[in-house]
Amino acid sequence: MTRLRSVMLWSMLICFLTGCSVANFGDNFSRTLLNQNDPELVQAGAPAYLLLVDSLIAGDPDDADWLQTGAKLYTLYSAVLVADHVRAQKLSTRAFDYGKRALCAENSDGCGLVEQPYAAFKNSLEDFDADEVAALYAFTTSWLVWAQMHSDDWNAVAAVPKLELTLQRIINLDESYDNGRAWLYLGMLYSLRPPSLGGKPDQARQCFERALLLTQGLDLSVKVAYARYYARLIYDRELHDRLLYEVRNAEPQVEGLTLMNTLAQAEAEQLLKSGVDYF
């Protein structure tokens, strides 16, 4: 761990000396994680970088770039690399805090956005433009994971309509951002409840299909989510198994998607096994 931390510090020093921006350094490290095919290595090494980012944010609390990096990395780490639920809750709370601060630093209209009533929240979203999609996306994904980790909290349940609005705003501004994953997350939200309780399965299917189109099927996590949230919701085992077999047989090594694809293949195996009892 000490050696890894030293490598990070030297890398950052070189980056600064050669004129590399803070944002580029954060993005480069994020890409390195996402291109790794060994989740255990990422799980072991990421905490050192998270602490480094924490220290850099502490030194410049209003730097939008580092706040976005902190939000993204803590969101990824708490969502897919932490097994302990209580710990994941704590880490997702930090991710959400960074996400809110990043949005506020990027655009003052984002300050206190979460607490606004629905109508005011909807109007405030219109003040964000395409240049601010990165901050809006970091904020939204950190909020999504926080809500997932705190699903027993009424505030998390009440956040769903606002999250839907925010994802739709991101899509309107740049639907291809982060390989179109806003469509994936919107499909998941639409699939959380059956139609009788306000769910929107038809719209969820359209969202998942759009996400597949934008990624040309290379993002295997889209197919896993499609199976888990939509196919199971409507009890379509044929679709469920087809999607998961496609994931299992796919090549996971894809630029920027390797880590998520590797994790998706492991989840696909679990869903195929549990599907025997589910359907």
For residue 133, the surrounding DSSP H or E stretch is helix 133-149
Closest C-alpha among 144, 146, 199 to residue 166: 144
- 139 shares a domain with 160: yes
Q: Which domain holds residue 107?
A: 40-173
Least confident interval from 4-13, 114-123, 224-233: 4-13
The yes-or-no verdict on residue 2 having pLDDT over 60 is: no
Q: Is residue 165 part of a domain?
A: yes
Write the DSSP symbol of residue 175: T
- 123 shares a domain with 180: no
The yes-or-no verdict on residue 62 having pLDDT over 70 is: yes
Considering 173, 189, 214, which residue would you say is the last residue of a domain? 173
- 97 shares a domain with 159: yes
pLDDT, tens only, 179-211: 899 999 999 999 988 777 777 999 999 999 999
Closest C-alpha among 118, 76, 70 to residue 94: 70
pLDDT of residue 24: 57
Considering 173, 201, 232, which residue would you say is the last residue of a domain? 173
**Dihedral, 250, 148, 204, 126 alpha carbons, nearest 10:** -120
- 161 shares a domain with 52: yes
Closest C-alpha among 9, 91, 96 to residue 48: 9
Please report how many Cα atoms fall inside a 13 Å half-sphere around the Cα of residue 144, on the Cβ side: 24
Q: Is residue 75 part of a domain?
A: yes
The yes-or-no verdict on residue 7 having pLDDT over 50 is: no
- 241 shares a domain with 262: yes
The yes-or-no verdict on residue 23 having pLDDT over 80 is: no
Q: Is residue 30 part of a domain?
A: no
The yes-or-no verdict on residue 271 having pLDDT over 90 is: yes
- 183 shares a domain with 160: no
**CB neighbour class for 47 (10 Å; exposed up to 12, middle 13-18, buried from 19):** middle
Q: What is the CATH number of the domain that holds 117?
A: 1.25.40.920
- 194 shares a domain with 250: yes
The yes-or-no verdict on residue 80 having pLDDT over 90 is: no
CA distances, 34 to each of 53, 247, 255, 262 (Å)? 17, 18, 8, 10
Count the domains in the chain: 2
Considering 129, 151, 173, which residue would you say is the last residue of a domain? 173
- 52 shares a domain with 144: yes
Q: Is residue 15 part of a domain?
A: no
Q: Is residue 12 part of a domain?
A: no
- 137 shares a domain with 48: yes
Closest C-alpha among 98, 101, 44 to residue 70: 98
Measured between alpha carbons, how far is 31 from 8 in angstroms, rounded to an integer?
14
- 179 shares a domain with 72: no
Confidence (pTM) = 0.86
Q: Is residue 179 part of a domain?
A: yes
pLDDT of residue 29: 64
- 250 shares a domain with 144: no
Which amino acid is it at 183? W
Least confident interval from 6-20, 128-142, 201-215: 6-20
Q: Is residue 194 part of a domain?
A: yes
- 65 shares a domain with 48: yes
> Residue 258 is encoded by which pair of tokens?
């390797």
pLDDT of residue 26: 56
